[in-house]
Amino acid sequence: MAEQNMVSMLWRDKEARKWGICVLLFVALTSLVLYRIFHTEKLPPPGAKRAVICQKCGKLQVLRIVDPETPKARCAYCGGRVGMAWKCGHCGYEYYIVNFKFDARNLSTMERLRKVESLRRCPNCGEIKDVRPMSVNEVEDELKRRGE
Ligand SMILES: [Zn+2]
Ligand SMILES: [Zn+2]
């Protein structure tokens, strides 16, 4: 009888051990998965790639910028402030625009339009209509073509 009790106790013990191992494995796996999710979400650098031009040295480049409206980003070459890269379709000039924000409260629709047009105007030839922001792909291709 005593032997039978021992066996049953051991069996119960083994079962308890198995459960213990299962729970431990489950906890370990869950924390590993959570850790991975948490870390992979934190891994990519913040912000989005933007095509920019340095206000100081005029270098065309692609930077990761968190807020495109208030670029705190600095030029990778000289450390100067950057602006969004724009290109004139009329003369091919590449230039930067720092900010499109302006106080429009007391402006009529026409005045607002004119203000936006004056902000995007090509500084080289004065073109207003045929100007556009440069895409990241376009700048990356252009830099590759120039061997930079
Ligand atoms: Zn620069
Ligand atoms: Zn132009």
Q: Are 34 and 107 in a shared domain?
A: no
**Ligand 2 centroid vs 90 CA: distance in angstroms?**
5
- Asked if the model's pLDDT at residue 139 lies above 60, the reply is yes
CB < 8 Å & 24+ apart, contacts of 71-80: 71/98, 78/54, 80/54, 80/55, 80/56
Ligand that comes closest to the CA of residue 125: 2
Q: State the pLDDT at residue 44.
A: 65
- The 10s digit of each residue's pLDDT in 26-59 is 999 998 888 887 776 666 677 788 999 999 999 9
Q: Are 12 and 78 in a shared domain?
A: no
**Ligand 1 centroid vs 58 CA: distance in angstroms?**
6
**Ligand 2 centroid vs 116 CA: distance in angstroms?**
16
Q: Position of tokens 């079962």?
A: 15
Q: Are 33 and 58 in a shared domain?
A: no
Give the domain extent around 80.
Answer: 48-146
Q: What's the number of domains the chain is made of?
A: 2
Q: Are 34 and 19 in a shared domain?
A: yes
Half-sphere exposure of 108 (CA within 13 A, CB side): 2
CB 55 within 8 A of CB 96: yes
pTM over 0.75: no
**Ligand 1 centroid vs 62 CA: distance in angstroms?**
12
